[in-house]
Amino acid sequence: MGEEQQRPRRRRGQGQLEAMVLSALREADGPATAGWVQRRLGGDLAYTTVVTILTRLLAKGAVTRERAGRSFAWTPAADQAGLAARKMRKVLDAQSDREAVLASFVTGLGPDDERLLRELLRQAEDEGED
């Protein structure tokens, strides 16, 4: 009886730990190491515990990791798209003639193009209504 009561309590404990680690990770500005998360949580948890929890979160798909030197840098999965957007902007900004590499949907507009384009679109709308 006593054992059966303890088990759910331990599980809840794990869930709380996971939530703590995840929220600490969300406060990071970009990917963070397990050591950073441990310091962020005030050092209550052992380093190995933090790594174990992060690994469990990884299995659940709540975080992702990438290799950074000898250890891993961890990122909350929800923030993955935002992080990718920032990385992609860096790639695109570094490439001055990116049109040559990536076929983008539209190229820039010349001085008279905007006026011409608005005229064309208005014409198209008028014809569509006829």
Partner 1 sequence: MGVFVFLPLVLPLTAWPVARLAEQHLHPRTATRLLTAVTAVMAVCSTVCLALLMVVGTAQLPGNPLPDGWSDPEVREAVPYDEVAGRAAIPALVLVLAACARTLWRHGRVRRRAHRALAGVRGKRVAVLPDDVPYAYALPGGRRQDRVVVTTALLEHLEPAERRALFAHERAHLAARHHRLLLVAQLAARANPFLRPLRTAVAYTAERWADEDAAQTIGSRRTVASAIGKAALVSRGTPIPTLAGLAAVGPVPRRVAALLAPAPTARRWPPVFTSVGLAAWGAAAGAAVSAMSSANSAVTMVLILRAATPL
SS3 32: strand
Per CB under 8 A, contacts with partner 1 among 44-103 are 64, 66, 75, 77, 80-85, 87-92, 95, 98-103
Closer to partner 1 at the Cβ: 31 or 50? 31
Closer to partner 1 at the Cβ: 11 or 118? 118
Task: Give the containing element (helix H, strand E) for 1.
Answer: none
Closer to partner 1 at the Cβ: 17 or 76? 76
Q: Which of 49, 73, 108, 130 binds partner 1 (CB under 8 A)?
A: 108
- Is residue 50 within 8 Å of residue 74, measured between CB atoms? no
Shortest distance, position 18 Cβ to partner 1, whole Å: 19
Q: Considering the rule CB under 8 A, would residue 124 count as an interface residue with partner 1?
A: yes
The per-residue DSSP string of 35-90 comes to HHHHHHTTT-S-HHHHHHHHHHHHHHTSEEEEEETTEEEEEEGGGHHHHHHHHHHH
- Tokens describing residue 63: 């975080």
Interface contacts to partner 1, rule CB under 8 A = 64, 66, 75, 77, 80-85, 87-92, 95, 98-114, 116-118, 120-121, 123-125, 127-128
